Structure 1
Amino acid sequence: MFDDFCMEHNLDQPLLPQTLFDLWCEKRPHENGTTHRMRVQQIRQFSKFLTNNGIEAPTVFLPLPQIDKTFLPYIFTHDEIQRLLTAVDRIKPCTHHGRESLVHLVMPLLFRILYCCGLRIGEALKIKTEDVDFHRGTLRLTETKNNRERLVPMSATLTQMCRAYFANPLVQSYGSAYFFPATDRSHYATCTAYEYFRKSLFIAQIGHGGRGKGPRLHDIRHTMAVHTLSQWTAEGKDIYTALPILMTYLGHSSIRSTEKYLRLVPESYAQITVPFETNFGDVFPEVTDENQ
């Protein structure tokens, strides 16, 4: 990413100007605090490395960005998700650079894939046509956050929507390697998806708290996870057995990343705590004396 960043800003000398350093350190739209802090840490270490090797680079740094550990994702209700998708379906055809855009076809399917499959927006936008198996109903993700390729099964309904979308003559006319091609035949940008997300929120009458407060586009993924756990709980499934399945499906690198959703599902607590109290409650007897 940093290499692409340097090329975009025409850096052709072996140095790291302060202006470029500062620009890289700016927080990006939709970027969470942990990712932002990690990027700043990495460029600071790289800058020190350059300086130690006699290459011009910044030597004075601002304090590292603080991470807001109190942040909670926005979890859409089922009704809000339905209203959001209905609003996305109302996107009208338009032209871009003299060519008819696919936005009115792309966004309805893209947002359903985000919710039904819990993909990260970057994973979804970079799906290539060859990675969509219309017969088995799977998506092969090769460009993921943790660089771990995975297969994501889709429902029969979503698979049929993918078939219908790809069979559209307008989509076929693009001849792009990407499943969601922009007018230049590359994939759609995240900022474009976010733009339509915000417009659809307004149409669906779902309030937005402003920059950094959400709902965020990434909250659709969080919502899918919480709704899935809620459904499993209602069906009486063993959450301990189910969590690793959800972890694999979402592409998490550890079970801890998936466990965080449990605190967003109040209905899950009873399923977890009641069996524990039943089986092990007498191991730790109740303390009646506060001094013990």
Structure 2
Amino acid sequence: MTLAASMQSLVQEYLNERRSLGFALGISGRQLMAFARFADQFGHCGPLTSDIILAWARGQATRSTPITWARRLEVVRPFAKYRARIEAGTEIPAADIFGRAHRRLTPHIYTETEITDLVAAAGQLSPQDTLRPATYETLFGLIAATGLRLSEALHLRCSAVDLDQNQLTVRCTKFRKSRLLPLHSTVTAALGRYVEVRQRYVVANPDAFFFVSPSGAALKDRTVHHVFEGLRTTLGWTARGTHPAPRIHDLRHTFICRRVLLWQEQGADIDNAMLALTTYVGHTKVSDTYWYLSGVPELMAAAGRHFEQFASDLGENGHG
């Protein structure tokens, strides 16, 4: 008698095939494995069913929301389609059971005070006589100052940080593209201070990760989020967006929005400037950068002021 394959082995088989075709499947791969563990622990056997998929999608967290369920369902459906070609009786839940998976949620746009407080609080992390405070102080400061994705910051190598030329090289990012980022002199100075502290604890190596733990190991994404959540709680922020709480990724939203606000104040050609900003933040299309701006109250207010001025000018010129 042949034992039924575990869901984890089936998911791994699927991931191996997809990755052999060039798909990274980083986050979605981890989520699929989480689903597989859930199904195995539940004791599920036989073809995939809508019941087991929807049970995992809904999850057990009290703060889970329909948009979270929809995104989990979005992760499992390609796997279900793959299994349907192999195993008769496999069920594929409809994509819209929980509504749209990608809905515009308003980000938390940080104030200058909030960013300053975050960096300062990170610098006070314990233990004080280690590399840890300097690492998080510089990491969060760099993301706020450049709009880097957290994954890009964590994957920076020492050789990518050129303090003499005031620039960073971000290699093989989300869309397998590399880019060169000019830095403001204050950012370079902060990175230089971190390098000095880092050298006291970790042996210099051009190929090593730039941001490391006190042991010299690379920082893990979930560890950084845990530290950020602790700082967020300590600082007592109130979310101004539609996410439950301010996020690290909102620093990237803030960078883009504040950059555009500054250009508006300076009277810059926004269309041309947006093309440069798209390249700087690593987007493939300018529409992706504009997506970061929609629904942000500060920008909507600025747009309203510009329209009022435009309407006033029309009236004064006799075109009312």
TM-score (normalizing by structure 1): 0.74
Distance 2:274 2:220 in 1: 31
CA RMSD in angstroms comes to 4.2
Does the 8 A contact of 2:80 with 2:92 survive in 1? no
Task: Give the superposition deviation at 1:227.
Answer: 1.3
SS in 2 for 1:140: strand
Pairing 1:107–2:136 present: yes
- How many residues get paired? 273
- Residue of structure 2 equivalent to 1:144: 173
Q: Percent identity between the aligned chains?
A: 22
Q: 1:5 to 1:16 in 2, by over 3 A?
A: farther
Q: 1:17 to 1:123 in 2, by over 3 A?
A: farther
Pairing 1:267–2:302 present: yes
Aligned partner letter, 2:123 = D
Q: Which runs of 5+ in 1 are unaligned?
A: 95-99, 287-292
- Residue of structure 1 equivalent to 2:81: 48
Q: 1:88 to 1:268 in 2, by over 3 A?
A: farther
SS in 2 for 1:173: coil
- Of 265, 272, 276 in structure 2, the residue corresponding to residue 234 of structure 1 is 265
Note the 1:19-58 alignment, pairs <5 A: 40-41=73-74, 43-54=76-87
Q: 1:33 to 1:110 in 2, by over 3 A?
A: farther
Distance 2:287 2:126 in 1: 41
Measured against aligned partners, the alpha-carbon deviations of 1:86-141 in whole angstroms (never above 9, x if no partner) come to: 222211227xxxxx863212101001111000011111111111211121121211
Note the 1:105-144 alignment, pairs <5 A: 105-144=134-173
Pairing 1:69–2:103 present: yes
Task: Give the superposition deviation at 1:262.
Answer: 5.8
- Residue of structure 2 equivalent to 1:256: 287
Distance 1:259 1:211 in 2: 18
- Residue of structure 1 equivalent to 2:234: 203
Distance 2:167 2:58 in 1: 37
Pairing 1:59–2:91 present: yes
Does the 8 A contact of 2:202 with 2:216 survive in 1? no
Distance 1:126 1:23 in 2: 35
- Residue of structure 2 equivalent to 1:290: none
- Residue of structure 2 equivalent to 1:192: 223
Distance 1:276 1:145 in 2: 42
